[in-house]
């Protein structure tokens, strides 16, 4: 219901301002709008909140008319006559009210009306009825006290300055009074309530839209694979996890030269600069202008037809000025935009960390793949040498008539098969080196090696920590959450479009038709005043934009939940992979030992004529397959450590 009231709140504020500017003060309307918003937000009943709003508005109105509002001079004249003793203070105050009628009228009209709108629509923050009335009355009293203090106690200063300066002085006094009230209220009701009062009193804009709260997520109490949960492998720095010095150097090179990581760093710099651009809109904008114009007017049209003869139709104009524009962020539109930009900056930083963890794991995995291929190449070359020796043996036995030609042809075929495996594994080695070179940010080339595959060391156990810690550890989860924060802030930015935009504009400079008179006192020009823009009819554009923003927020929420589920899946998969790879490697070692013994027995039986060459050939094939599978399982165990490390969120620390 509160969202449905937003368009009507804009219409009500517009109607109230229009009627009030016509000369009929209607300060109760914005309070009623705020009361309706408060009740629609889940606060007290509408009757109670409206009654409280009307009471607070009447109290504020009584205060203004008791002080005199812009009728300050007649009130002071009446006081001077009633006292019977004209005082210098009252005389000075009366002169101030007369001389600064426009400035005081600005304060008496614009500022209290602005305060009424702010405090009225602050009901969307779900404050209680008592605090609602207290904020309303205290803010009205603070403004009235500052107005009266400016008239009575600052008259010696104000009657010597320009009206624009008097406005600034009264505003400063108002902020001082508001701060004093806030200090008192903090002692009475606590710091949180005082913060709300300061916001309501000192032009207190309320940021519309929902404040971000982390969604409740169901996390598994334990991992599917029994592991140690007291610590986490992710707490170990990558340079302590990988002991191979060559691998360390490769990772360090990749962190310096990898193009994907550099791109992520550049995106962080872009997001940081964009935050500065967005945040700058919350501050006053000051621009300088200088111009020269040479213009000739028609002598046959107005105004020259009404001027006496002899006026030069060609004129020169010189102008220079400083222009100031400041939007009062009463509804939090600019603050919500800054909040969203800050969240996007944090999301880009988490994306950089995600790229960092992925890069480290990719380099380590590619390095272990390369070591495994080196081991395969070694096995293939050893197998080729063994089969060539077997071919020579078969040929000698054939020459001696101990075997047939079929065994010779089989032996020749096995030699060719083993020889064909060598260039194939060399091709895969070159391709893996090229892939690793790109990760290092360099052109394809040879990659240095450190310890061999079997000599690589890994931790004996892989502690995983608590599953709940994964939400804080993994950068991709934090990135998804920051995107959700940004989408949530965009909702407040979209809701603020329903409310009026109030800006303060001013200009000060000099203008003259002669350059020599440009910087003289009579050439000075200035203007200052507020401006308000109220959305009246936009064919549903603002409401549609709000619905689109809310839909994007729901998408970000679903993506956040999906990222968390994916993180738990990857962590459980990696833990299972590591456990099963360790069990598989133990069985592969037994398989290799059995295959070697079988080959020894088969070769011995063949040499002694107890079996044919096919048995020896089959035993040799089984040994080749077992050794390659053992090398792959050894690589899988190292890769599993890398995957567990990445899945738990480790590796984004920067080495000093």
What is the 3 state secondary structure string of 498-567? HCCEEEEEEEEEEEECCHHHCCCHHHEEEEEEEEEECCCCCCCHHHHHHHHHHHHHHHHHHHHHHHHHHH
Pairing state between β 501-512 and 524-533: antiparallel
pTM (predicted TM-score): 0.66
Bigger pLDDT: 103 or 198? 103
Please state the domain extents for the chain. 2-206
How far, in Å, CA of 543 to CA of 555, rounded?
Answer: 19
How far, in Å, CA of 547 to CA of 554, rounded?
Answer: 11
Residue 631 phi/psi, 5° resolution? -65, -40
**What six digits make up the tokens of 533?**
């823009």
At residue 352 the predicted structure's pLDDT band, cuts being 50, 70 and 90, is very high
**What six digits make up the tokens of 351?**
């994306």
How far, in Å, CA of 195 to CA of 358, rounded?
Answer: 44
**What six digits make up the tokens of 3?**
């969202």
How far, in Å, CA of 653 to CA of 579, rounded?
Answer: 26
Query: What's residue 350's pLDDT?
Result: 92
How far, in Å, CA of 392 to CA of 399, rounded?
Answer: 11
Query: What one-character DSSP code corresponds to residue 222?
Result: S
Residues 6+ apart with CB under 8 A from 448: 246
> Of 582, 351, 583, which is closest to residue 474 (Cα–Cα)?
351
Contact, 458 vs 175, CB < 8 A?
no
At residue 24 the predicted structure's pLDDT band, cuts being 50, 70 and 90, is very low
What average pLDDT does this structure show over 259-283? 92
Secondary structure tally for the chain: helices H, strands E: 19, 4
Query: What's residue 265's pLDDT?
Result: 92
Query: What's residue 84's pLDDT?
Result: 54
How far, in Å, CA of 579 to CA of 634, rounded?
Answer: 13
- List pLDDT tens digits, range 613-625: 777 777 888 888 8
Query: What's residue 19's pLDDT?
Result: 42
- List pLDDT tens digits, range 228-250: 666 778 778 888 888 889 999 99
- List pLDDT tens digits, range 564-612: 999 999 988 988 898 888 888 888 889 889 888 888 888 888 777 777 7
The share of the chain scoring above pLDDT 90, in percent, equals: 23
At residue 433 the predicted structure's pLDDT band, cuts being 50, 70 and 90, is very high
Pairing state between β 285-296 and 314-328: antiparallel
Q: What is the torsion angle, in degrees rounded to the nearest 10, for the CA atoms of residue 561, residue 563, residue 565 and residue 567?
A: -150
Mean pLDDT value across the chain: 74
Residues 6+ apart with CB under 8 A from 44: 38, 128, 129
**What six digits make up the tokens of 579?**
């456990």
Query: What's residue 384's pLDDT?
Result: 87
> Of 640, 564, 567, which is closest to residue 361 (Cα–Cα)?
640
């Amino acid at each position: 219901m509160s969202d449905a009231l937003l368009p009507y709140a804009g219409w009500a504020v517009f109607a109230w301002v229009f009627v009030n500017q016509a000369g009929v003060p209607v300060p109760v309307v914005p309070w009623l709008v705020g009361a309706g918003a408060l009740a629609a937000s889940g606060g007290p009943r509408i009757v109670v909140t409206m009654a409280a709003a009307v009471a607070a508005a009447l109290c504020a109105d009584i205060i203004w008319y008791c002080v005199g509002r812009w009728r300050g001079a007649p009130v002071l004249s009446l006081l001077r006559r009633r006292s019977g003793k004209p005082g210098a203070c009252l005389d000075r105050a009366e002169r101030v009210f007369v001389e600064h009628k426009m400035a005081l009228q600005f304060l008496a009209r614009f500022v209290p009306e602005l305060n009424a709108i702010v405090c009225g629509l602050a009901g969307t923050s779900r404050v209680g009825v008592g605090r609602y009335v207290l904020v309303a009355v205290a803010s009205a009293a603070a403004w009235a006290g500052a107005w009266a203090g400016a008239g009575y106690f600052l008259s010696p200063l104000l009657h010597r300055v320009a009206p624009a300066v008097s406005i600034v002085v009264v505003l400063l006094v108002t902020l001082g009074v508001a701060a004093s009230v806030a200090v008192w209220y903090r002692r009475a009701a606590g710091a949180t309530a005082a913060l709300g009062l300061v916001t309501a009193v000192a032009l207190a804009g309320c940021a519309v839209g929902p404040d971000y709260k982390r969604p409740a997520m169901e996390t598994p109490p334990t991992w599917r694979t029994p592991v140690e949960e007291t610590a986490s492998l992710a707490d170990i720095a990558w340079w302590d996890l990988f002991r191979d010095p060559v691998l360390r150097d490769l990772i360090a090179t990749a962190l310096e030269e990898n193009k994907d990581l550099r791109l992520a760093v550049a995106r962080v710099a872009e997001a940081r600069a964009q935050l500065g651009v967005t945040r700058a809109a919350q501050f006053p904008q000051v621009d300088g202008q200088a111009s020269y114009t040479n213009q000739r007017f028609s002598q046959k049209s107005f105004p020259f037809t009404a001027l006496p003869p002899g006026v030069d139709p060609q004129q020169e104009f010189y102008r220079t000025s400083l222009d100031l524009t400041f939007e009062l962020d009463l509804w939090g539109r600019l603050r919500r935009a800054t909040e969203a930009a800050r969240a996007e900056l944090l999301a880009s930083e988490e994306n950089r960390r995600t790229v960092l963890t992925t890069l480290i794991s990719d380099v380590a995995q590619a390095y272990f793949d390369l070591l495994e291929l080196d081991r395969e190449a070694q096995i293939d070359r050893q197998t080729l040498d063994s089969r060539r020796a077997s071919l020579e043996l078969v040929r000698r036995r054939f020459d001696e008539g101990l075997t047939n030609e079929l065994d010779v042809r089989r032996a020749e075929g096995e030699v060719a098969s083993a020889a064909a495996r060598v260039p194939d594994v060399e091709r895969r080695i070159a391709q893996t080196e090229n892939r690793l070179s790109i990760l290092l940010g360099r052109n394809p080339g040879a990659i240095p090696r450190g310890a061999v595959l079997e000599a690589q060391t890994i931790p004996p156990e892989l502690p995983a920590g608590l599953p709940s810690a994964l939400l804080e550890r993994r950068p991709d989860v934090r990135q998804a959450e920051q995107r959700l924060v940004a989408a949530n802030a965009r909702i407040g930015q979209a809701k603020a479009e329903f409310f009026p935009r109030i800006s303060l504009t001013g200009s000060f400079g000099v203008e003259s038709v002669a350059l020599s008179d440009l910087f003289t006192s009579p050439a000075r020009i200035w203007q200052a005043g507020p401006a308000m823009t109220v959305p009246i009819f936009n064919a549903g554009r603002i409401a549609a934009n709000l619905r689109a923003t809310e839909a994007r927020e729901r998408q970000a929420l679903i993506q956040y939940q999906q990222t968390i589920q994916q993180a738990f899946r990857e962590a459980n998969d990696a833990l299972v992979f590591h456990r099963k790879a360790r069990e598989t490697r133990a069985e592969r070692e037994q398989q290799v030992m059995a295959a070697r013994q079988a080959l020894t027995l088969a070769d011995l039986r063949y040499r002694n004529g107890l079996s044919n060459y096919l048995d020896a050939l089959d035993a040799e094939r089984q040994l080749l397959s077992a050794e390659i599978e053992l090398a792959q399982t050894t690589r899988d165990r190292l890769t599993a450590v890398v995957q567990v490390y990445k899945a738990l969120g480790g590796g984004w620390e920067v080495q000093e």
